[in-house]
Every structure is written in structure tokens, then in C-alpha cells.
Amino acid sequence: MTTPVDPGAAANPGGLAEELRISIARLSRRLRHLRPADTGAGAPAALTLTQFAALAAIERHGSMTPRELADHEKVQPPSMTRVLASLEERGLVARNPHPTDRRQVEMSVTAAGAALLRDERRRKEAWLSRRLGELTEDEREVLRRAAPIIDRLSRS
């Protein structure tokens, strides 16, 4: 079974743009809001989306100064300082001396932070794998072929 193609999509790329925008936003929101199961009384509160984004950015890009991270995440430095303080308090990031400027520090992900990110990714990928399993093989093949194109769009 193949997915029907909208014959007007080529003539109206705006229609395709709207469909993709809505679908990608909905999927992204769904994945972002998958939260870890409650681990019981006394357990620390789940990280905010901003905290997860900052932690993932540091892991992806390596050590970063708070200013570099604030610029990367498009937030004001005082906001990032609060985010980093919370992550540091939880033992998810560590401060390290800057290699060339003693007035600055660089933040790096700790083993606990890397483990948390790994678990988060594994959980989200498991959810997505279950949803993909509900599709037909033809639908999965369409997505397999579209994934690199969507990635290219996201990087442009």
C-alpha cells in the first residue's frame, strides 16, 4: 500500500510547507514532552526542556563557556547561568578552568549527565520505534528515504 500523493503539492509548495511544519512541530512536541517516569517520593524533579537542551548542547559540542552556550541556545547569559547552576547542583555538568583565559570557565558534561542523556534518547527512540512499528513497510520506506532530506532542511 502506498501513501497517496497530493497532486497539488508540487504546484503549491506552500501546502507541503504547511503540512511539514505542522507534522514536524507536533512530533517534536510529542517527543519533547515524553517525561521520565516518576521515581517516587524524594526523587529530584525532572529537568526542564531548557536544561535538557543545554546539557545536550554541551555534550554535542564539547566543553563550552557559559557565554558560548547562552549564544548557542539563544538565551540571555543570566538565564544560562541559572540553568548551569541547576545542572551543576545535580552533578550533570562540571566547571573546568578555561585553557587560555583564567577569568573564564568551561562547562563539560559529567558521566551522570551523559548517562541521563543516553537514557533520555533511548526512551524517545523506543517510543518512536513503537510508533514506526504501527506503519506499513511502504510507509516506513517513505520515511527512511525522507529522513536525510528532512535533516538537510533542518541544517540549512
pLDDT for 43 equals 46
Assess if residue 11 is contained within a domain: no
Residues 6+ apart with CB under 8 A from 96: 63, 105, 106, 107, 108
- Show the domain range for 133: 47-155
pLDDT for 36 equals 62
Assess if residue 1 is contained within a domain: no
CATH, residue 60: 1.10.10.10
Q: What is the mean pLDDT of residues 67-95?
A: 94
Q: Using one digit for the tens of pLDDT, what is the confidence trace for 17-65?
A: 999 999 999 998 888 877 665 444 444 567 888 899 999 999 999 899 9
Q: Using one digit for the tens of pLDDT, what is the confidence trace for 115-124?
A: 999 998 999 9
Q: Cα-Cα-Cα-Cα dihedral of 16, 22, 27, 32, to 10°?
A: 140
Cα separation, 2 vs 5, whole angstroms: 9
pLDDT for 68 equals 93
Assess if residue 25 is contained within a domain: no
Assess if residue 64 is contained within a domain: yes
Assess if residue 99 is contained within a domain: yes
